[in-house]
Structure 1
Amino acid sequence: MNARFVAYDCLCKIILEGQYANLMMRKALDKVSDKDKGLVTQIVYGTLRNYRLCRYQWNDLVDKPCSKQIAILLDMSVYQLFFMDKVPTYAIINEAVDCAPNSNKGFVNAILRKVEARGKMHSDDIGIQTSHPEWLINLWKAHYGQEKMLEIIEGNNLDAQVVGRINTLKSSKEELEKIEGIHFLDELAFVADFNLVQSEIFQEGKIVIQDESSQQVVKIMNLKEESRVLDCCSAPGTKTSQIAMMLNNTGEIIANELHEHRAKLVSEAMDKLGVTNTKVINEDAILLNTILEQESFDAILVDAPCSGLGVLRRKPEIKMKIQPENIDEIVELQKNILNSVQSLLKNEGVLVYSTCTINKKENEKQIQNFINSHPEYELCYENTIFPIDSTKDGFYMAKLLKKG
């Protein structure tokens, strides 16, 4: 199937139907040849990351609003014109016209030729330059200052590296050091010069794909073997497997997941990775305090549902969809989960809270409000990792001790 049509169809499903970019990309790439997979990936993610800047290039040339589908077609064509130097201009415009319905072919051709003739336009508006909504820029500026805000929005438009973690239940650093093209970031985390997802070591469960920031969350739990641990929101099981690895398959992990199909993913991941100390349950985390025994866990991980503002380079569609009111709903959900599961922790136990977002309302303020309501909890450690390095997503983590 034609690569640009596949990219266009994929973008329409993501933007208009609210589908997840990563899931749509998997389906889209199955429809094109190996040589076109890179082209489709670049068009889709490039258009999503630069959606405001692309729209800025043609919007003033239109007398009246066009359909959302045609707007997406123009956006992705503009992205190719100005960000993909190796693609001939005539091919971009001709294939855009081919993708358009008969009634819009002339319109698409005319607009794109005007855009090409005028050249790329610069805007002094940082929101247009970096394709972020104004409210989000203002939020980060208020929370972290002008300099850090600029670093965040620039980092969000970089390609994110794929990071691996050794699964010590099945492999070792010594084994992986023998493989050419692997470069270690620390004792367990590494990047590679080859496709990790398609590699034999991934298929055999010897490694896990996990961002470097995400790997820090379980590390701060400082788990001891034979511990009983609750992972409240466990899908897809990446951190669950890391907990099992730290426990060396001893003790017990209760891995909870609200959605049945995602709970199944956790079970499948544990089987693949050789995890034998984990029981997967399918419950609402807010109700866990009515299902599980009080004060029965040595450690609890709340890897909470969040706005995902720390992973925009991996999920650029988030910045097109999320609104401030969505965050208020998420904050309430996070609060309810924390309030529910805290009673399940033993005295002197550890509760770790984490999100993949950059937003104090979901992070520092959430934890401070929790401690104010539960003075028996003491903050031992907290850290915000900003999405500035290519191997590190934006993350927040806090470690709390329940005093006896």
Structure 2
Amino acid sequence: MTPSARLSGAIDLLCAIQNAPRRPADATANTFFRERRYIGGGDRRTISNLVWDVLRGWRRLHWHLQNTKGDISPRILCAASMVLSGNSMEHVRQLFSGERYAQSPLTSREDIALKTLEGKELSQQKQPIAVRLEYPDWIESLLKETFGSKMPDEMEAMLGLPTLDLRANLLKVTREEALNALKRESLHATATQLSPWGIRLEGRQPVTAAQAFKDGLVEIQDEGSQLVVAAADAHPDQRIVDYCAGAGGKTLALAMAMNNKGHIVACDVHEKRLEGAVKRLRRAGVHNVERHLITVGDKWVKRRAKSFDRVLVDAPCSGTGTWRRNPDARLRLTPQDIEELVQKQAEILDRAASLVKPGGRMIYATCSLLTRENDEQISAFLKRNDNFVLLPADEMPELLPKILREKSSFSLTPLRNGTDGFFACVLKRKE
């Protein structure tokens, strides 16, 4: 594709994302490219990069364009992002040539608005802090509850590009062997600092096209997510429930930790997500997993009360810890969402807790930065359930690095740990 055609593709994709405001942008993008299989891998990456640059800079771009007459369209947002990234107006005008596959020429209104941006940077100190750090105004007090005076630094780190982390599948290879397999395919990677299974790739590399991925030697999984699994301390002789399994990322890691022995039940309320796990399980060589769809009126939980050694609850949450990866989530989140999620998390915790056998453990995790969804949720649970206690620090799994074993819970952020934002807490049912 020509540069002009790529720009047109980016504008079309951004339009599609705007037309589905409650749908995650990555899901819209997957559909967009699936319907346009003629777009090659390199072109897809270029188109996606421009669109995600716009999403990451959404509030700042609108601030720069606030005096523009008329609508702030995907056309002008993409163009503004390019200008504020250092592209000249002459180059941008050439991309809007009106020729085949190119966008129509810039209107005088668009040209004037973009011309004022030349030589400027996306971030400006005079921008309101919520604009400069790309978070909704209403969430500032909740972020300050979590981070206090460090909030600006933490949110600044959230503006960075996410890492591309993999987990070596120890059912098939050691981490060193996985690193060598990636190296043979010219994929530059290093071992992660915190997860004992983690691998980090530099920049955006086509890992899913690599034979090491196709053969199930590695799985895509953020290092923070791997550490949540490490907190479960899974063993081969155990029975484990992954209560909110989704497409099975943590289920796969649990199976690996159990050496494909014992028994795992992957539960979820979404049938398509559970179906999506099948291919991943097969590729990884996992065969100790049973899938269970939770439905309204389901008696499964009641019938299996107090029968599992571990119950992992990766609860639905605000996803604020994944804003580097999913910048569009900042735009969708509302105060009402938080209220509904906190209630849902409490209900899920109470149901899942009934599955834990005496002496067993429940691991509660979110990819949220908010205290309301994390520490406060745990405190409320313990008040409702006096048969559970926080796991003593000296019983925290040795798989975790020492800095994460100082108490029964840990929080991860891009600034402090170089991972997505995660929270995990280990609870123990009294004997």
Common fold by TM > 0.5: yes
Report the alpha carbon displacement of residue 89 of structure 1 after superposing the two structures with TM. 2.2
- Gap change, CA 1:319 and 1:286, over 3 Å in 2: farther
Per the alignment, residue 270 of structure 2 pairs with 259
The runs of 5 or more residues in structure 2 that have no matched partner are 392-407
**Mapping of residues 98-137 of structure 1, within 5 Å:** 98=98, 105-116=107-118, 122=124, 123-137=126-140
Aligned length: 395
3-state SS of 1:146 partner: helix
Superposition RMSD on alpha carbons, in Å?
2.5
Letter in 1 for 2:422: F
Per the alignment, residue 157 of structure 2 pairs with 155
Alignment of 1:394 onto 2:398: no
Return the match for 1:189 from 187, 192, 198.
Answer: 198
C-alpha contact 1:6 1:31 (8 A) present in aligned 2? no
Q: If the length of structure 1 is used for normalisation, what is the TM-score?
A: 0.90
- Gap change, CA 1:178 and 1:39, over 3 Å in 2: closer
Alignment of 1:371 onto 2:370: no
- Gap change, CA 1:14 and 1:146, over 3 Å in 2: farther
Report the alpha carbon displacement of residue 171 of structure 1 after superposing the two structures with TM. 1.6
Tell me the distance in 1 between the aligned counterparts of 2:119 and 2:201. 42
Per the alignment, residue 352 of structure 1 pairs with 363
Deviation digits for residues 121-150 of structure 1 (CA, Å, limit 9, x no counterpart): 832411222222222233211332022x11
Letter in 2 for 1:388: L
C-alpha contact 2:61 2:122 (8 A) present in aligned 1? no
Letter in 2 for 1:338: L
The runs of 5 or more residues in structure 1 that have no matched partner are none
Per the alignment, residue 51 of structure 2 pairs with 44
Return the match for 1:313 from 318, 324, 334.
Answer: 324
C-alpha contact 1:311 1:387 (8 A) present in aligned 2? no
- Gap change, CA 1:370 and 1:390, over 3 Å in 2: closer
**Mapping of residues 196-211 of structure 1, within 5 Å:** 196-211=207-222
Report the alpha carbon displacement of residue 291 of structure 1 after superposing the two structures with TM. 5.3
Deviation digits for residues 88-138 of structure 1 (CA, Å, limit 9, x no counterpart): 422324545857789x94433343234448887832411222222222233
Report the alpha carbon displacement of residue 224 of structure 1 after superposing the two structures with TM. 2.1
Identity level (%): 25
Per the alignment, residue 7 of structure 2 pairs with 4
Deviation digits for residues 268-317 of structure 1 (CA, Å, limit 9, x no counterpart): 21111111110011114995665541111111000001110000010000
Return the match for 2:61 from 54, 60, 72.
Answer: 54
Return the match for 1:22 from 26, 40, 43.
Answer: 26
Report the alpha carbon displacement of residue 223 of structure 1 after superposing the two structures with TM. 1.9
**Mapping of residues 244-323 of structure 1, within 5 Å:** 244-284=255-295, 287=298, 290=301, 292-323=303-334
Per the alignment, residue 337 of structure 2 pairs with 326
Report the alpha carbon displacement of residue 31 of structure 1 after superposing the two structures with TM. 5.0
- Gap change, CA 1:10 and 1:323, over 3 Å in 2: same
Q: Which deviates more from structure 2 when the two are superposed, residues 215-224 or residues 387-396?
A: 387-396
Report the alpha carbon displacement of residue 191 of structure 1 after superposing the two structures with TM. 1.5
C-alpha contact 2:179 2:199 (8 A) present in aligned 1? no
- Gap change, CA 1:345 and 1:169, over 3 Å in 2: same
3-state SS of 1:319 partner: helix
